[in-house]
Structure 1
Amino acid sequence: MDYNEFAKLELERWKYDMKKKPSIFDMASKGIQNKFNGILPNKYHEFMTTAIKNMVKAVLFGSTYLTKKPYLGLSLKEREELIIEKTKLYKNTAIIEGAGTGAGGIMLGLADFPLLLSIKIKLLYDIAAIYGFDVKDYKERIYILNIFQLAFSSQEHINKVFHRVEYWEAYVNGLPSDINSLDWREFQEQYRDYIDLAKLLQMVPGIGAFVGAYVNNKLVDKLSKTAIQAYRMRVL
């Protein structure tokens, strides 16, 4: 079996998982998450919401990450080998950053959140460029936001986002010409609700450093694997 055939098989398995309906466990986890969110002070929610809002704005409107040029003339295997190496670098950065801020308790734990978002954004821009897509096109940046949602939303929301991504060309044709017309509040809420539960443990003195490093490593790894499959749907 050549590499492309292997990738297609992996892609089909991933697509099947993305289309699964929410399980009882998924619904129970969401209920626990909502209870945690209800206990947290308003300032915490405001901090998280502001961090995500700024991240989304940076992706849509900023020029900080637009230096990546599309990689041309590579096979799928060569592209994905590059992505594996890039992901290792970003995971190491996230581990070091998560351990450092986790050891500092709640204040540094909060500081970790926007830092981790920045690491994820840079990784996704690199992956998009390696697959040959030009992120100067704002519609490619919309695709990046959809990858975030696929990686970090509830299963119920994943079902909705996956349908959008699976029929991306049809969806893109319906996007407004004015980027300012987009509604991105739902994305903010979904991402925040997913990440709170894991990151809360990072702020607990004594275990914060370990949890921060472990969680950051897992989140970056999950994002990379999701991005690979999402771009395979387009290049294959």
Structure 2
Amino acid sequence: MYEEKANIELQRWQRKIEKSGSLSKKYTKIIQNKVNEKIPEKVHEVFTTSVKNMVHATLVGAEYTTTTIPVEGATLEEREVRLEQKVKAYKKTAAVEGAGTGAGGILLGMVDFPLLLSIKMKFLFEAASLYGYDVKDYRERLYILYLFQLAFSSDEKKKEVLKKIKDWEEIKRNLPDKETYLQQIDWKEFQLEYRDHIDLIKLLQVIPGFGAIVGAFANYHFLEVLGETAKNSYRMRVLGGGS
């Protein structure tokens, strides 16, 4: 019965992603694209390198892979009860971090970017393990990166990534080797999608006297979205595919 309920929720989640984005979101994306075109390429390179280094360190960092052990022999319901506990804990952690850096203005607001990214990635590593997947396998770490993109990208990019998630077992069989798989990632696109997705709310976070409230709310919301994305994406694999 639980799996039937989970499958219904999964289909509903997929339909939500596959629906066309609202006009306001499309208009916002057009504006963001125009602004990005005005930014010098060297500035983009700095952002891209920063994101690449942070994500690369997370994906290959032993501090995450050595502390996560795949959960074996549990039912889907048992796994997801534990996942919900993790989501609640990480939402609180992210909210406290966002409030602290938001209260500090621009300088601490800049610190929030790598801290929040680290919290999000650590959560995804733990989520993978709860569903029984071994994050020591580089292919599972690449899947985690796709989940990150699925949660924090434009509507069109989400549709593209969802297709990869649906076809993951086939993609997994044809991946490049461990030494070269990170070279296949378009880091500039990754950082632009992520930055544009969180841009407006993070700008509000650096406003003195207002940033703490925005920072706490934003980070709490981001972890909530990431939790929903992880749950349904791993459900897709456990239950045998999507619609």
User: TM-score with structure 1 length normalisation?
Assistant: 0.92
- Aligned AA for 1:18? I
1:202 maps to which of 202, 205, 210: 205
Once the two structures are superposed, residues 78-105 of structure 1 have per-residue CA deviations (whole angstroms, 9 ceiling, x without a partner) of 1101011111111111111100110111
In structure 2, what is the equivalent of residue 94 of structure 1?
94
CA contact 2:105–2:206 (8 Å) conserved in 1: yes
The verdict on how the C-alpha distance between 1:219 and 1:144 changes in structure 2, with shifts beyond 3 A counting, is same
Residue 234 of structure 1 and its aligned partner are, at CA, apart by 0.2
CA contact 2:101–2:111 (8 Å) conserved in 1: yes
- Aligned AA for 2:131? Y
- Aligned AA for 2:105? G
Do residues 153 (structure 1) and 153 (structure 2) align?
yes
Trace 1:30-109 onto structure 2 (pairs within 5 A).
30-34=29-33, 48-67=47-66, 68-109=68-109
Matched residue count:
235
Trace 1:159-174 onto structure 2 (pairs within 5 A).
159-174=159-174
Distance in 2 (alpha carbons) for counterparts of 1:85 and 1:111: 27
Residue 23 of structure 1 and its aligned partner are, at CA, apart by 3.2
Structure 2 alignment gaps of length 5 or more: none
Once the two structures are superposed, residues 117-157 of structure 1 have per-residue CA deviations (whole angstroms, 9 ceiling, x without a partner) of 00001100010000000000000001100001110100111
Distance in 1 (alpha carbons) for counterparts of 2:37 and 2:96: 31
Distance in 2 (alpha carbons) for counterparts of 1:96 and 1:41: 34
With 26-35 and 219-228 compared, the bigger mean Cα shift is at 26-35
In structure 2, what is the equivalent of residue 213 of structure 1?
216
Residue 43 of structure 1 and its aligned partner are, at CA, apart by 9.3
With 166-175 and 213-222 compared, the bigger mean Cα shift is at 166-175
User: TM-score with structure 2 length normalisation?
Assistant: 0.89
- Aligned AA for 2:185? D
Q: Aligned residues: percent identity? A: 51
SS of residue in 2 equivalent to 1:64: helix
CA contact 2:47–2:191 (8 Å) conserved in 1: no
